[in-house]
Amino acid sequence: MHRVPGVLKIVVLVCSLAWAYTNPIQAQSSSLDSYSPGDGMVIRNPITGYRMQIRAYAQFMAESRRFDGVDETYNRFRARRMRMRIVGSSPSDKLRYRVQFDFAQSLEGDDEVRGMLLDGWVAYRPSNRFELSFGQRATPLDNLELQMASSALQLTDRSRLTSAFSSIRDFGLFASGRLRAGAVGWFKVSGALTSGDGSNAFGVDHGGLKFGARVNWLPLGLFRSFGEFREVDLAREVQPKLLIGSYGSMNRGMSSRRGRESGAILYLDNFGNEALPDYWKLGADILFKFRGFTFLGEYVYADCDVPVDEITQRVRNDGTVATTFTGGVDAYVRGRMILGSAWNAQAGYVFKNLWSVDARVTKFSPDDYSFLNNPTFYNRNAYYELGASKYFGRDFAYKIQASAIRSIPELGSLTVDSDVFDGNEWTFRILTQMAF
């Protein structure tokens, strides 16, 4: 199986732009409608009425990791995100599209070029309360923090819960709608039917499909200034706002740890046919905002069904096949997947001078057999984080953030250099953001 080369993804962008400006003569009439840092520039065609917004931002992060009891420090500086987003709509706003790239991926090497495409979808809105979209986009079948914009996070990065359990993006069909719930309240419902193979897995087909839904209840009304999708309350909600959400999904025949990279983990039966586990996930969230204060709470549980009677072979990373399963088929398969539960709670307050203080606690309860027990990458079941941020405007155009993270390892945890340590792991980060 071969993935679509990076060059072909550029075609998606070109086709999207061509769709918005189909007439070359009319395209010449397009003009800059507005520009502001953080929101980007808006181009509007006065003849066709089509609108296009171009936004870009870059995040640079310095990180230092230290381990108690071990004379070892791991430092790095990297471009955390370098994204460009193009969003367009028809005059009636019934048709929309979005294309987004992360050029920071290309800095990691040629093998990562395939990861540059984040979003590529088109949507139809028969009314302002319902939308149907097709393509690759962030899935609603993950925790609430993943729905938040990467440029508007409270701390220097998303929680460990998000990085461990979330599938992030997928390709397929998405639907969303909203209904009134009382005088001011709303129900927002979304569902998805996707490949279950993760992002940029075009032409790759392992297992079956992934399906699921999310329901959000907003009893106190809608958030201001897209506050539902921004962790920081820079809009300073005048009235208390609350979101209570729940979600669930089933990925039939998953070939990765959590549904991000199709074909990363493969198993076969006696006849060489794929025999893959089903992966299901349930979660609940709560978001509260009022006058600069934000609270976000999340819980997730994931498990799998292993076809023990069918799996007789496993495919190694080099493509060869083995018939040995350390600890038995069930234990081996489960030990390579993200299984168990976790909760995350974070709160913060942004002052009127646009300084903020934030804190986060994340805890894991891995299954007995789960990749969460891996001594190098996980095996830290408690995370405590404190942070401070300075925003240079309410548009998230420029900001500086710093955070300190204490993680408590389980016995047998390893450092970056595979040394055993039994103390705390400390991580210090500084992030800067510039949006255009």
How much is the pLDDT for 7?
A: 40
162-204: pLDDT as tens digits? 999 999 999 999 999 999 999 999 999 999 999 999 988 877 7
Contact yes or no for 48/21 (Cβ under 8 A): yes
Is 280 inside any structural domain? yes
How much is the pLDDT for 308?
A: 97
Q: How many domains does the chain have?
A: 1
The CA distance from 136 to 149, in Å, is 16
Range in 31-35, 164-168, 431-435 with the lowest mean pLDDT = 31-35
How much is the pLDDT for 35?
A: 85
Is 1 inside any structural domain? no
pTM to 2 decimals?
0.90
How much is the pLDDT for 39?
A: 82
The pair phi, psi for residue 249, each rounded to 5°, is -150, 155
Q: What is the DSSP track for 235-265?
A: T--SS-EEEEEEEEEEESS--SSSSSSTTSS
Segment 126-138 mean pLDDT: 95
Confidence of residue 86 (pLDDT cuts 50, 70, 90): very high
How much is the pLDDT for 204?
A: 76
Structure token digits, residue 286: 């709560």
Contact yes or no for 396/150 (Cβ under 8 A): no
**Nearest C-alpha neighbor of 435 from the set 192, 85, 167:** 85
Segment 265-290 mean pLDDT: 97
Is 360 inside any structural domain? yes
**Nearest C-alpha neighbor of 192 from the set 254, 147, 134:** 134
How much is the pLDDT for 4?
A: 41
Residue 300 pLDDT exceeds 90 = yes
Percent of the chain beyond pLDDT 70? 91
Tell me which DSSP letter residue 257 carries: S
How much is the pLDDT for 20?
A: 46
Residue 120 pLDDT exceeds 70 = yes
Residue 109 pLDDT exceeds 50 = no
Is 156 inside any structural domain? yes
Check which CATH number belongs to the domain holding 14 and give it: 2.40.160.10
Segment 387-413 mean pLDDT: 95
How much is the pLDDT for 106?
A: 55
How much is the pLDDT for 48?
A: 79
Residue 52 pLDDT exceeds 70 = yes
Domain boundaries, position 59? 6-435
Percent of the chain beyond pLDDT 90? 77
11-20: pLDDT as tens digits? 444 454 545 4
Is 23 inside any structural domain? yes
Segment 376-405 mean pLDDT: 96
Is 85 inside any structural domain? yes
